[in-house]
Chain A
């Protein structure tokens, strides 16, 4: 059974960089594309970015200038860095696998999520 677990600070100061790590168990990170998705309180999810083990990446245009996603195949982990954060970046951050079934893709499974608050 594939499981994902997010880790990182729950509180980040404005203008600083948010850093999170997702540890994957039950599947090799060399399979599939691995994603970060966030959800602000009371809002719908917002896709942030994905990475493939080769280093191929794709970013949400609205966040691209501030986001870096990376992968560590030796640890079966991938990471997110979001720079110059503001209180608007306060959200639950999820990591998720982009599962493929033929030509159809969906996010499954998701991690349990980690709440990141941006505040001084």
Chain B
């Protein structure tokens, strides 16, 4: 039921820069609703790493950065580290049908 589309997987060598896209529509990301990003390590619950499109909670390394343009958003990981291997999900708010929270399809990041 995900209305936010992400690439299934991306990979990179340690130290490289990766970007993950999140494509929505005019009724969610494009409706001026901010985007959050969560990191999910194996067997764990998702953890917030980006809020309000670009801001990092305390304790999240500045290697993680977010951006938003129109109906899409992106998460960038620079200086890729082995500990960044995880699933990443974008999240926003869908304004149709009375409004509800939506997550992306998810992207598996593999560190080569």
Partner-B contacts on A (CB < 8 A) = 35, 43-47, 58-62, 94, 96, 101, 104, 106-113
Contact = CB atoms under 8 A, between A and B. Distances in A.
Given A45-B89, A60-B100, A106 B48 contact: yes
A61 B91 contact: no
A101 B91 CA distance: 16
A105 to B, nearest CB: 8
Contacts, number: 60
A47 B52 contact: no
Interface size class of B (residues with CB under 8 A): 20 to 34
Contacts of A106: 36, 48, 51, 91
B14 interface: no
Nearest to B53: A104
B34 to A, nearest CB: 6
B103 interface: yes
A46 B102 CA distance: 7
Interface in B56-112: 57, 89, 91, 97-106
